[in-house]
Chain A
Amino acid sequence: MTSLVIVDDHSIFRSGLRAELDPELTVLGEAGTVDEAIALIAAELPEVVLLDVHLPGAAGGGGAEVIRGSAGLLGTVRFLALSVSDSAEDVVGVIRAGARGYITKGSSGAEVSAAVAAVAAGDAVFSPRLAGFVLDAFGAVTGERADQPDELDRLSAREQEVMRLIARGFAYKEVASELFISVKTVETHVSAVLRKLQLSSRHELTAWAQQRKLL
């Protein structure tokens, strides 16, 4: 049983999504604005928050502001960004604020449920598009590669391989068998990439975030 809070400013979308979700998931509540969401999350302490990127209320920071407002809970509550837009630029700000992944609103109920379960288990959720964006933003195509595993501004060779396969539409399990590594190792690589995405000070990332006033 995974407990869940849905944050989206459209009640129709919230109820529609709720009806489609896996019955294994317990929806603790719904919120429609930034302030409501922060209060609800603090009161209910769900395992996962499904968070719309564009959200009215408070200072106008949208989903990223909700995460920052719940910063003290980031250890126990995990955020999964949900966006009507499938451009990764829209989502990088929420990811950098602390979300563990993102999916588009066009995804089916089963896909959303699977992503929620993955995030609840501590994994990062990368869509093919977000993986492609990461490859671009970290200069993987122009041949930039991290020599030290803890380097934040570039990806290691293995991380690039994993991202490339995810961008090609491979599931984690398929990535694992393609690269002859365990699924656990794939998840470790993805989490490492997510961490770099959140902490890196690469110009491309900060520029996007700043443009959207998310830093």
Chain B
Amino acid sequence: MTTASIRPPLARPRRAVLGGVAAGLAIHLRVPVTGVRVVLVCLTVAGGAGALFYIWLWALVPLEPQAASTVAPVWRRAPVAIVLVALASASVITELAGLTGNSDPVVGPILVFTILAAGGAVAWSLTMDVADPHRSQASATAVRSAATFLLLLGGIAALLSHAQGFDAVLGLLAIVVAVAVLVAPRVVALWSNLMSERAARVRQEQRAEIAAHLHDSVLQTLALIQTRAGASTEVARIARAQERELRDWLFAEDQPARSDLPTELREIAAAIELDFAVRIEVVTVGETTQLATTAVVGAAREAMLNAARHAGGDVAVYVETTASSIDVFVRDRGVGVDMASLPDDRLGIRESIVGRMSRAGGAATVTAGAGVRGTEVHLHLARDHD
């Protein structure tokens, strides 16, 4: 009696012949699975209790829990759909034999059986076999076309034999079911498409609503903070960074970030703004289809860093991409630099900007700004036409 307490729980295994009921029962009761099957079949033949018991257990006994790391789909070894198709074809053959024979044919019950078997085959293959990796797409298609063909054959034969009353109705029904079987997968696909589209639209609308609200409230407040705090104060910089982040989130249209030159320079500018008391305005003109050029990005980054470090305040970055060349201007409002008087150990401009650009086949010029003060770095690179 102690064994009863450690009896394995009643559960249906995932690798089953049909529903896993017999195997589950056998494990639970610790008897050979063949014995369980024999009892079930005997009970089914003697009055149908076995089948009812089987269906009852199938519905109520849970599936074996799956291991945490693996996703184990249910694998049914019995080719139920194919067996049902075979039954349907047998019944259609019986019907045709009866119709061509001389004796009074029995059409009604045979047609009902055909409709149930063929419809059941399609239903099984659409619901149970879809999740099963051991059943291919091709076999589902084969089951469906076979079912359609059998239903049409049975229905048309019944109608052509001048069936009367109920038989004629059944014949028509067979044809209707055949058509339904044919279009069922498309209808199912259409329906699930419609559902997911609706869900996506609802999400989109919600997002737009949130965006509108945030635009009207938070962005305005952030702008006001920047106005009140003065452009290059700590508070204004934080507000500006926050505003940029929020704006990116609000107006990014789910597109993957492209790593072209303007995008990269904007990202660099955003990063520098966080570290220095500086406001960098990046203006880009022209279409860029090519990826960012490492030398230009590196040199521009160095120029922006120099401007942020030595000048601060407002820095203007202008990027112009034409069919033949890329030009980047970085302009600050600092006291300016004199290239000739720079000590040799100041590698920033000489090496990281001028040297880098000339190695890449471009040019960099550093000029004192047009006014009394300020420095402008100009990077120029001809574009390859390959």
The verdict on A177 contacting chain B, using a C-beta distance below 8 Å, is yes
Is A105 touching B318 in the complex (CB atoms < 8 A)? no
What is the CA–CA distance of A171 and B329 in the complex, to the nearest angstrom? 15
Provided the pairs A169-B316, A171-B371 are in contact, do residues A136 and B227 lie with their beta carbons within 8 angstroms? no
The verdict on A142 contacting chain B, using a C-beta distance below 8 Å, is yes
Per-residue B-contact encoding for A99-118, CB less than 8 Å = 1, 0 else: 00000111111001000000
Q: Which residues of A130-153 have CB atoms within 8 Å of chain B's CB atoms? A: 131-132, 135-136, 140-143
User: How many residues on A have C-beta within 8 angstroms of the other chain's C-beta atoms?
Assistant: 39
Is B283 touching A167 in the complex (CB atoms < 8 A)? yes
Please name the residue on chain A nearest to B333 by beta carbon.
A169
Report which of A84, A104, A112, A128 forms a contact with B318, defined as CB distance below 8 A: A128
The verdict on B224 contacting chain A, using a C-beta distance below 8 Å, is yes
The verdict on A36 contacting chain B, using a C-beta distance below 8 Å, is no
Interface SS, B side: mixed
Which A residues are in CB contact (< 8 Å) with B314?
Answer: 169
Is B227 touching A108 in the complex (CB atoms < 8 A)? yes
A-B pair count, CB < 8 Å, reads 96
Quote the shortest CB–CB distance from A150 to chain B (angstroms).
Answer: 24
Q: Which residues of A1-39 have CB atoms within 8 Å of chain B's CB atoms? A: 9-10, 12-13, 16-17, 19-20
What is the CA–CA distance of A13 and B227 in the complex, to the nearest angstrom? 10
The verdict on B194 contacting chain A, using a C-beta distance below 8 Å, is no
Q: How large is the interface on B (under 10, 10 to 19, 20 to 34, 35 or more residues)?
A: 20 to 34
The verdict on B331 contacting chain A, using a C-beta distance below 8 Å, is yes
Please name the residue on chain B nearest to A15 by beta carbon.
B224
Report which of B227, B284, B323 forms a contact with A107, defined as CB distance below 8 A: B227
Please name the residue on chain B nearest to A9 by beta carbon.
B216
Quote the shortest CB–CB distance from B216 to chain A (angstroms).
Answer: 8
The verdict on A178 contacting chain B, using a C-beta distance below 8 Å, is yes
Is B223 touching A131 in the complex (CB atoms < 8 A)? no
Is A142 touching B323 in the complex (CB atoms < 8 A)? yes
Report which of A12, A135, A174 forms a contact with B224, defined as CB distance below 8 A: A12
The verdict on B220 contacting chain A, using a C-beta distance below 8 Å, is yes
Is B221 touching A12 in the complex (CB atoms < 8 A)? yes
The verdict on B370 contacting chain A, using a C-beta distance below 8 Å, is yes
What is the CA–CA distance of A140 and B287 in the complex, to the nearest angstrom? 12
Q: Which residues of B223-247 have CB atoms within 8 Å of chain A's CB atoms? A: 223-224, 226-228, 230-231, 240, 243
Per-residue A-contact encoding for B274-287, CB less than 8 Å = 1, 0 else: 00000001011110
The verdict on A154 contacting chain B, using a C-beta distance below 8 Å, is no
Interface SS, A side: helix
The verdict on B167 contacting chain A, using a C-beta distance below 8 Å, is no
Provided the pairs A106-B240, A129-B281, A174-B371 are in contact, do residues A84 and B219 lie with their beta carbons within 8 angstroms? yes
Is A54 touching B221 in the complex (CB atoms < 8 A)? no
Is A128 touching B223 in the complex (CB atoms < 8 A)? no
The verdict on B369 contacting chain A, using a C-beta distance below 8 Å, is yes
The verdict on B294 contacting chain A, using a C-beta distance below 8 Å, is no
Which B residues are in CB contact (< 8 Å) with A143?
Answer: 322
Which B residues are in CB contact (< 8 Å) with A19?
Answer: 228
Please name the residue on chain B nearest to A163 by beta carbon.
B285
Is A84 touching B227 in the complex (CB atoms < 8 A)? no
The verdict on A168 contacting chain B, using a C-beta distance below 8 Å, is yes
What is the CA–CA distance of A207 and B322 in the complex, to the nearest angstrom? 23
Is B220 touching A84 in the complex (CB atoms < 8 A)? yes
The verdict on A170 contacting chain B, using a C-beta distance below 8 Å, is yes
Provided the pairs A141-B286, A141-B322, A142-B323 are in contact, do residues A169 and B281 lie with their beta carbons within 8 angstroms? yes
Is A128 touching B283 in the complex (CB atoms < 8 A)? yes
Per-residue B-contact encoding for A162-198, CB less than 8 Å = 1, 0 else: 0011011111011101100000000000000000000
Residues on B lying within 8 angstroms of A by beta carbon are: 215-216, 219-221, 223-224, 226-228, 230-231, 240, 243, 281, 283-286, 314-316, 318, 320-323, 329, 331, 369-371, 376
Instruction: Report 29 cross-chain contacts, Cβ distance below 8 Å, ordered by A residue.
Output: A12-B220, A13-B224, A17-B224, A104-B223, A105-B223, A105-B224, A106-B223, A106-B231, A106-B240, A107-B227, A128-B283, A132-B285, A135-B285, A135-B320, A136-B285, A136-B286, A140-B285, A141-B321, A142-B323, A143-B322, A165-B370, A167-B285, A169-B314, A169-B316, A170-B370, A171-B371, A173-B371, A174-B370, A178-B370
Sorted nearest first, the 4 A-B pairs with minimum C-beta distance are: A169-B316, A105-B223, A132-B283, A141-B286
Known: A107-B227, A141-B320, A178-B370. 12 other contacts (CB 8 A): A12-B224, A13-B223, A84-B223, A112-B227, A128-B316, A132-B283, A141-B322, A167-B318, A169-B316, A170-B370, A174-B369, A175-B370
